[in-house]
């Protein structure tokens, strides 16, 4: 197993400020860097804004980089609800407004991808260009091969409610919170290893992610996203029935999602470019940041 980690374009704290911003009724922790046209970066699970550590430095010279912790994730407010894609899209729109931005490029991965898609679909005047990575978009056609053996096992585990008798289960919490409490480091570490094809991530990033997902309430918020997936799927189906995605869109696949996202996008998108990165794990910004930037920088520069 490799112990080398990709160098950050700048040290993780250099040139980056974090700010508390209330958007759509929830207080978000937001990392900001650079100056210029805005680029909004939306992370997934089990990440925080720090999943973008190795790309922020390359974006900041020409962009105002805005990288929030999604509602309930990282250092953002542990919201009671609102984890469906539609509400997360509304959070992103409100965040841009609070920061005085009238348009932005939007780059998203994993859990950040469905809300980014809805934002681009429903607010084409706000989103200049859209980059989507390593996620599915509800039940849109195109992902049949990826789902031929069923969705990944953790989708059902994360979504499962607590059902008696589950020792230590509290009202409002699901099975996963009860099972994983006290074992967060091992669980998050498994996803980080899987998402980098066994190479792992820098210890300081791993520690930050583990801290962000430690505790019953932090786990509840993370798994609330999975429990809201049916809501998000219905919102995506309704939105694509009404309109098409018209903003220029770049779909980037790796392992394990591959080209499934691009296949879902193709029938509903007017201007789609897709790339499949070989030998690249799910957490593209941490595993292969240079390969990501080779695609990202030219695509954003056109806008």
- Across the chain, which has 303 residues, the per-10-residue mean pLDDT values are 34 76 98 97 97 96 97 96 97 98 98 98 98 98 94 95 60 87 97 97 96 96 96 98 98 98 98 98 97 97 79
The confidence score (pLDDT) of residue 26 equals 97
The confidence score (pLDDT) of residue 164 equals 58
Q: Is residue 245 part of a domain?
A: yes
The confidence score (pLDDT) of residue 161 equals 84
Residues with Cβ within 8 Å of residue 88, at least 6 apart in sequence:
42, 70, 71, 82, 112, 114, 115
Q: Is residue 253 part of a domain?
A: yes
Instruction: Find tokens 């409100």 and name the residue.
Output: 94
Q: Which domain holds residue 80?
A: 17-149+230-302
The confidence score (pLDDT) of residue 3 equals 35
* Rounded CA separation 113/262 (Å): 12
Q: Is residue 271 part of a domain?
A: yes
Q: Is residue 195 part of a domain?
A: no
**99: closest CA among 53, 12, 16, 40?**
40
Q: Is residue 93 part of a domain?
A: yes
pTM score of the predicted model: 0.93
- The answer to whether the Cα torsion of 254, 258, 263, 264 is positive or negative is negative
The confidence score (pLDDT) of residue 256 equals 97
* Rounded CA separation 263/20 (Å): 37
Q: Is residue 235 part of a domain?
A: yes
The confidence score (pLDDT) of residue 166 equals 53
The confidence score (pLDDT) of residue 172 equals 72
Q: Can you give the CATH number for the domain in which 56 is found?
A: 3.40.50.1820
How many domains does the chain divide into? Answer: 1
Q: Is residue 275 part of a domain?
A: yes
The confidence score (pLDDT) of residue 104 equals 98
Q: Is residue 165 part of a domain?
A: no
């Amino acid at each position: 197993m490799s112990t080398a980690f990709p160098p950050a374009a700048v040290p993780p704290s250099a040139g980056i400020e974090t700010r508390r911003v209330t958007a759509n009724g929830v207080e978000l922790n937001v990392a900001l860097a650079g100056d210029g046209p805005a680029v909004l970066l939306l992370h997934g699970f089990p990440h925080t804004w720090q999943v973008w550590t190795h790309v922020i430095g390359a974006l900041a010279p020409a962009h105002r980089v805005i990288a929030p912790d999604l509602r309930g994730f990282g250092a953002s407010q542990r919201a009671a609800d609102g984890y469906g894609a539609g509400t997360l899209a509304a959070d992103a729109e409100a965040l841009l407004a609070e920061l005085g931005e009238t348009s932005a490029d939007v780059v998203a991965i994993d859990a950040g991808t469905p809300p980014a898609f809805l934002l681009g679909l429903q607010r084409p005047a706000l989103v200049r260009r859209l980059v989507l990575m390593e996620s599915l978009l509800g039940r849109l056609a195109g992902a049949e091969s990826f789902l031929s053996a069923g969705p990944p096992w953790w989708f059902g585990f994360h979504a499962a409610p607590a059902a008696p008798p589950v020792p230590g289960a509290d009202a409002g919490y699901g099975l996963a919170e009860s099972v994983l409490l006290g074992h967060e480091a091992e669980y998050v570490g498994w996803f980080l290893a899987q998402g980098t094809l066994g190479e792992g991530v820098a210890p300081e990033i791993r520690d930050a992610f583990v801290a962000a997902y430690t505790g019953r309430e932090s786990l509840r918020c993370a798994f609330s996203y999975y429990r809201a997936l049916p809501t998000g799927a219905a919102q995506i189906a309704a939105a694509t029935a009404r309109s098409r995605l018209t903003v220029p869109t770049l779909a980037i696949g790796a392992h394990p999602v591959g080209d499934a996202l691009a296949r879902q996008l193709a029938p509903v998108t007017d201007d789609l470019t897709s790339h499949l990165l070989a030998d690249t794990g799910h957490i593209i910004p941490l595993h292969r940041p240079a390969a990501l930037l080779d695609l990202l920088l030219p695509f954003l520069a056109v806008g």
